[in-house]
Structure 1
Amino acid sequence: MDPETARTARESLDLAFHMSNILDTGLDRHTLSVLIALCDLGLNPEALAAVVKELQREPPPSTPLSSSSSQGSNN
């Protein structure tokens, strides 16, 4: 990637990240970069937004040890 293209890409990401912060999306710069790359590859942005909202709504996954031990006690 030539320096001018890299600079433009960096400025675009900076602008998108600034807008993301204004909208209080909770997305970090890396996650936003991945989402933009997925859109560039042709993924539907509305579908990606729905996935992000769903993932933000879900509680963090429990550890495999605690879920396997609780499943074992039900048998």
Structure 2
Amino acid sequence: MSTREAERNASAQQTLDILYEIATLLNTQLDKATLATCIGMVENGANPEALAAVIQELRREGGARDANR
């Protein structure tokens, strides 16, 4: 791995760490892997508001399913 690639990876990891801290402070209940997936989706053109709506809906459905057990 070149020095430039290593610097890019370190920068990306630092950015993810900062965004994870923000997500934790905002009580999003996203783990780091899920947050990284969401970031990647947004970087590839997904609408952030639509993505948030999908996550909220999945949580509602999961909560309803758990309540019926």
TM-score, normalised with respect to structure 2: 0.82
Could you tell me which of 21, 26, 29 is aligned with 1:18?
21
- Backbone CA RMSD of aligned residues: 1.7
Number of equivalent positions: 62
Distance 2:62 2:41 in 1: 24
Q: Greater helix share, 1 or 2?
A: 2
Could you tell me which of 4, 8, 11 is aligned with 2:7?
4
Runs of 4+ in 1 over 6 A off after TM superposition: none
**Unaligned runs of at least 5 residues, structure 1:** 63-75
Distance 2:50 2:60 in 1: 15
**Percent identity (aligned):** 40
Structure 2 residue identity aligned to 1:35: C
Which structure has the larger Rg? Answer: 1
